[in-house]
Structure 1
Amino acid sequence: MEGWLVSGSRLGEIGFWADRTPVHEAARRGEILQLQQLIANGACVNLVTYDSITPLHEASLRGQTQCVKLLLAAGAQVDARNIDGSTPLCDACASGSIECVKVLLSHGAKVNPPLYTASPLHEACMNGSPECVRLLIDVGANLEAHDCHFGTPLHVACAREHLDCVKLLLNAGANVNAAKLHETALHHAAKVKNADLVEMLVEFGGNIYARDNRGKKPSDYTCKSSQTAKCLEYYEKTPLSLSQLCRVSLRKATGQQGLAKIAKLNIPLPLMKYLSYN
C-alpha cells in the first residue's frame, strides 16, 4: 500500500530515478496489448519513478494479473522495493488480489521480506482479504511479524474489525496476547466496540486483565452499558470453563507448528474439532 510503510528503497538494484513511464501507465491500467508492444520494443520493465515504484508495483497494487505475468516474464524484479519499503507482494496483498499474490509467489516473491515495517500479511489483514491471509499462512508467513506503528498482523486485523482474518490468524497459532506498547488485540477490540471480536479473542485465551502503557485494561476503553462492556464484565466475573482452559493450554503447549498436525491425531472427531475451533 503506497504511503503506508516507512523504510528505505534499494534504487541501485532496480534501476534509476525516472518519471512515470508508458510501461508504468500500461501496467497500472491493465493495458495488456500496449504493455506487450512496449516490452517487444525494448522498454525496460525495471525503471523506477521518483518514489521508486516499478511497473510491477503498479500492476500488483491494482490487481492487474496479466500485466504482472508479462512483467515478470520480461525480467521484472519480483522483490523490488519502493521508497516506502513495500514490495510488489505487499501491494498485491493490499489490493486483495489473490491471483496476483499467487503469481508473485510462484516467481519466488519473499513471503517474509526483511522489512522493519508492514509485511505482506499485515497488508492482507489491513485490506481484510481472508483468501490472501490463508494463502500467506499456508506458505509460511510470520504470524508475529511486528510493524513499529501497527504491531502484529493480529493487531491490524482487530483494529480494522476483519473477523474472518482474525479467526484465521488465531487458528494458525498467532499469539493472542502479543503486545504493542503493552496494547493487545483485546484493547483494539474494546476500542472499536466489537463484542463479537472480544468474545473470539477471549475464547482463544485473550487476557482481559492485560494493561497497556497507560495502565488501562480493555474494559477501560468501553462505554458502560454497551454490549462490549457487558461482554468484558461477564468474562471478568465468570472464569472460562475447565474444558476451555484445557483447550487454550494445550494449543499453547503445542505451538504453531504442532497445531497443523491436530487433524492427524488419533483422537475422536468431536475433540479434534474442539481443539481446532471448528
Structure 2
Amino acid sequence: MEPRGADGCFLGDVGFWVERTPVHEAAQRGETRQLQQLIENGACVNQVTVDSITPLHMASLRGQAQCVQLLLAAGAQMQSIHQDEQESSLHLPLRPRHWFLPSCQVDARNIDGSTPLCDACASGSVECVKLLLSHGAKVNPPLYTASPLHEACMSGSLFQPCVITMPFIRLRFFEGSSECVRLLIDLGANLEAHDCHFGTPLHVACAREHLDCVKVLLNAGANVNAAKLHETALHHAAKVKNVDLIEMLIEFGGNIYARDNRGRKPSDYTRSSSAPAECFEHYESACPETPLTLSQLCRVSLRRATGVRGLEKIAKLDIPPRLIDYLSYN
C-alpha cells in the first residue's frame, strides 16, 4: 500500500502542494495565533510535504520570525518532555502521538538539500537567521549546492522586495542582505564554499550586483580571484556591466588578465566604447603587468597576509587613522 500524507492523499499524487498541513499554512502566512493553537492541540511541527519541506522551512523562507520562534520553542518543549519521560519510571498520562516525535529539526533538508537557515538567508530576515543560529543551526551545513552564505549573497536588502512568479507559486524575495552576510561570517561561515552551480559566495554577489555584500566578503578575506570553470568574480562584474563592481574587485587585487574556460578575459565581455570597456582599458594601460599603483599593491599584499578577518587585525595596528582607512578601503 502506498504511504499517505497528513490529509490522506497519496504521496505519489501529482502536485506537491497537496501535502501541506494546516501547520505549514499557518507558518507560511504568519498566522501566529492559529499556529499556537495547532501546536497546543498536538500538531506535529516536523510534518513534511512530498518535497521534504517542513513548516520551519516555510516560515523561514517567508521571513515569519514569530512563527519560526513558535516552531523552535514547540520542538524544544517536545524534546524536553520526551527525555523526561524516558528517564522517569513513573507512568505519566498518555499524550498525543505527535508529542513523541523528535524536536523541531533545525537542520532539516528539503528535496533541494536546503535547510531552514538557507531559506531564512534567502528571505533576508536577520531575525529569523538569529533565531535559527541560536537554536543550533549549522552555519556550514554539508551541501553541494548553495550554502546559507550563498543564499544571503543571492538575496539581500529588506527594503527592496522582489517578487518572483512561477506556475502556482508566488514568492517574495528580498534583494541583498549584507547584514545577514556579516552575521554568518562572524559565526564562521566558509567564504570559499563552492556551489556546483554558482561557485563561491563572491561569484554570487557579483552576478547579482550586490556591492554591499561584495565589499563585506572582500573585507572578510574572500579570495577575489577564486575561479569556477576558470571564471572569476571579475568576469561576472564585466558581464553585468557594473563599473563600480569592476573597480572594487580590481582595487582588491582582481586579475584583469584571468581567462575563463573559453579563453576570454573579463574585458572581452564588454562592448567597445562602453563605460565598463573604458574602465578595463584604463587599468590595462596603466601597466602591462599590473593595473595597480605601488601603494595599492602594498595594500593588497598586506590584506592577503592578514588573511580572513584581516579588517579586524588592521584596526588594531598602531598606525595613523588615515592609513588604517586606506588599508580598510574606506
For the aligned pair, the TM-score class normalised by the smaller chain equals: over 0.9
Q: Which residue of 2 aligns with 1:111?
A: 139
Secondary structure of the structure 2 residue equivalent to 1:38: helix
Identity %: 84
Per-residue deviation, 1:137: 1.2
CA distance in 2 between counterparts of 1:241 and 1:184 reads: 22
Per-residue deviation, 1:260: 2.3
Q: Residues 28-177 of structure 1: matches in 2 within 5 Å?
A: 28-75=28-75, 76-127=104-155, 128-177=176-225
Ranges in structure 1 where 5+ consecutive residues have no aligned partner: 1-16
Q: 1:243 aligns with which of 295, 305, 314?
A: 295
More strand by share: 2
Q: Say yes or no: does 1:265 pair with 2:313.
A: no
CA distance in 2 between counterparts of 1:52 and 1:237 reads: 54
Q: Which residue of 2 aligns with 1:27?
A: 27
Amino acid at match of 2:307: G
Secondary structure of the structure 1 residue equivalent to 2:308: helix
CA distance in 1 between counterparts of 2:217 and 2:310 reads: 15
Q: 2:304 aligns with which of 237, 248, 252?
A: 252
- Between 1 and 2, higher relative CO (CA 8 Å, sep ≥ 6) is seen in 1
Per-residue deviation, 1:258: 4.0
CA distance in 1 between counterparts of 2:263 and 2:120 reads: 38
> Which of 1 and 2 has greater Rg?
2
Q: Which residue of 2 aligns with 1:189?
A: 237
Per-residue deviation, 1:267: 1.4
* Contact 2:220 2:310 survives alignment (8 Å): no
Secondary structure of the structure 2 residue equivalent to 1:79: coil
Q: Which 4+ residue blocks in structure 1 deviate beyond 2 angstroms?
A: 257-260
Amino acid at match of 2:120: A
Per-residue deviation, 1:214: 0.4
Per-residue deviation, 1:138: 1.2
Q: Give aligned pairs, total.
A: 262
Amino acid at match of 1:268: P
Any idea what the Cα deviations from partners look like across 1:119-172, whole Å, max 9, x if unmatched? 001001100111111111111111100001100000000001011111111111
TM-score scaled by length of structure 2: 0.78
Q: Which residue of 2 aligns with 1:6?
A: none
CA distance in 2 between counterparts of 1:246 and 1:261 reads: 16
CA distance in 2 between counterparts of 1:23 and 1:80 reads: 16
TM-score scaled by length of structure 1: 0.92
